[in-house]
Amino acid sequence: MRYALIMAGGSGTRLWPMSRTALPKQLIPFINGKSLLQLAYDRLDGLVPAENRFICAGQHHADLICRTLGLPVEQFIGEPIGRDTLNAVGLSAAVIAQRDPDAVIAVFTADHVIQPVDQFQKIVEHGYRLVEQTPNTLVTFGITPTLAATSYGYLQLGQAIDESAHIVKQFREKPDSATAQEYFAAGANRYLWNSGMFVWRASTLLDCIHRYEPSNHLGLMKIGTAWSTPQRNTVLSEIFPSLKKISVDFAVMEPAGRDPQVRVAAVPMPLQWLDVGSWPMFAETCRHDAAGNALGTDRVLLLETRGSVVASNDPKHLITTIGCDDLIIIHTPDATLVCRKDCAESIKELHRQIGQQFGPEII
């Protein structure tokens, strides 16, 4: 049977001060009144029935997520602490496999804005079919590059499987500028951005973890076995924090690409795809004025201001500027950020220093 898993455990530090520990970026209703998680969940309507959709996120967000989505608590998989994506998808596969040993799981992240939804669903359907037809297949979805980005990993495509899917010849890490330009110039029939979305059989993924990261597999299976018992929380809190912290790309997808027992396939996703991980990326979701300012709030008055990003989650607060170009201005009731757009990546370091100097309640 087909299942969907949405990973929603990110911290969103580059979207401070709106993204906080208690309400990280994927839960903020700042995309036309909806959160990134709500958008990801709604994209599955008509593709995967609600009873087969699971969310994996921090345990402390369980009540908020279940209440917001109307999600039964049985379909929420809570992590006591973040241990990277291998353990998130491995734990989820172990839990879902207890319910359905033949489960085929599509994995998504609560970071993306994707359009059009009907084309997205057709492409994911293709991924499901590849796995159902050939059970040892791990499918990853590749985004058609629109620029020579250095902030994404790349999929190098090999032999064609069908009219669009290819064997993944190699996973390429985030490149330097010259290498990214080389990949971009080669075209989308050779290189795609690595989207972090997948389809696989739960049993195939767990077998790969068993062979490539056996200690993680042992711990994940112990948790999965205890999941529907009164011992769940005890076993989870004892084992999960001790698991090796590693991404599923490093731990599974890369070694699987060299494994003759596994087929790693890439399905292109030539859609409007936006990874909302920073304020400049958030700006792409906003309405823009004639001067190119991205407006994430209605109460603004910008004079002689161009190319700036302005947002607030305080509906009574007015933001005004005069003579400001290429700035990020974000207001919340207890903190305000002002920085140049070309310094957006430094917000992550700012976030770290704020926590050290002002305490955890402000981050």
Task: Summarize the confidence of residues 311-326 as an average pLDDT.
Answer: 96
Report CA 325 to chain centroid distance, whole Å: 31
Indicate whether 287 and 335 sit together in one domain: yes
Q: Which of 231, 250, 275 is the last residue of a domain?
A: 275
DSSP per residue, 166-227? EEEEEEEPSP-HHHHHHHHHH-TTTEEEEEEEEEEEHHHHHHHHHHH-HHHHHHHHHHHHHT
Indicate whether 227 and 290 sit together in one domain: no
Nearest to 221 by CA among 237, 236, 233: 236
pLDDT at 11: 85
User: Which range of residues forms the domain containing residue 59?
Assistant: 2-275
Indicate whether 42 and 112 sit together in one domain: yes
Indicate whether 185 and 295 sit together in one domain: no
**Statement: residue 173 has pLDDT above 90:** no
Task: Summarize the confidence of residues 184-195 as an average pLDDT.
Answer: 93
pLDDT tens, 250-298? Answer: 999 999 999 999 999 999 999 999 999 999 999 999 999 999 999 999 9
Distance CA 230, CA 192 (A): 45
Indicate whether 270 and 285 sit together in one domain: no
Indicate whether 248 and 285 sit together in one domain: no
Distance CA 268, CA 192 (A): 7
61: domain CATH number?
3.90.550.10
Rg of the chain over Cα atoms, rounded to whole angstroms, equals: 21
pLDDT at 275: 92
| Kind and range of the H or E run holding 100 | none
Task: Summarize the confidence of residues 16-37 as an average pLDDT.
Answer: 95
Indicate whether 155 and 86 sit together in one domain: yes
CB 167 within 8 A of CB 259: no
Q: Which of 275, 292, 309 is the last residue of a domain?
A: 275
**Statement: residue 305 has pLDDT above 90:** yes
Helices 202-212 and 214-226 sit at what angle, rounded to 10 degrees?
Answer: 140
Nearest to 212 by CA among 176, 180, 174, 251: 251
pLDDT at 205: 98
Q: How far, in Å, are 107, 208, 248 from residue 86 at the CA level?
A: 12, 11, 4
**Statement: residue 6 has pLDDT above 90:** yes
CB 275 within 8 A of CB 11: no
Indicate whether 227 and 312 sit together in one domain: no
Q: Which of 248, 275, 302 is the last residue of a domain?
A: 275
**How confident is the prediction for the chain on average, in pLDDT?**
96
| Half-sphere CA count of 7, side-chain side, radius 13 A | 25
Indicate whether 156 and 45 sit together in one domain: yes
Distance CA 64, CA 68 (A): 6
Indicate whether 12 and 66 sit together in one domain: yes
Confidence of residue 10 (pLDDT cuts 50, 70, 90): confident
* Verdict on whether the full-model pTM lies above 0.85: yes
CB atoms within 10 A of CB 305: 22
Task: Summarize the confidence of residues 211-215 as an average pLDDT.
Answer: 98
Indicate whether 262 and 116 sit together in one domain: yes
Q: Which pair of structure tokens corresponds to residue 333?
A: 């009731």
In the chain, % of residues over pLDDT 90: 96
Domain count, the chain: 2
User: In a 3-state reduction of DSSP, which class is residue 269?
Assistant: strand
In the chain, % of residues over pLDDT 70: 100
Task: Summarize the confidence of residues 176-192 as an average pLDDT.
Answer: 93
Confidence of residue 134 (pLDDT cuts 50, 70, 90): very high
Q: Which pair of structure tokens corresponds to residue 267?
A: 């399905």
**Statement: residue 137 has pLDDT above 90:** yes
Indicate whether 63 and 133 sit together in one domain: yes
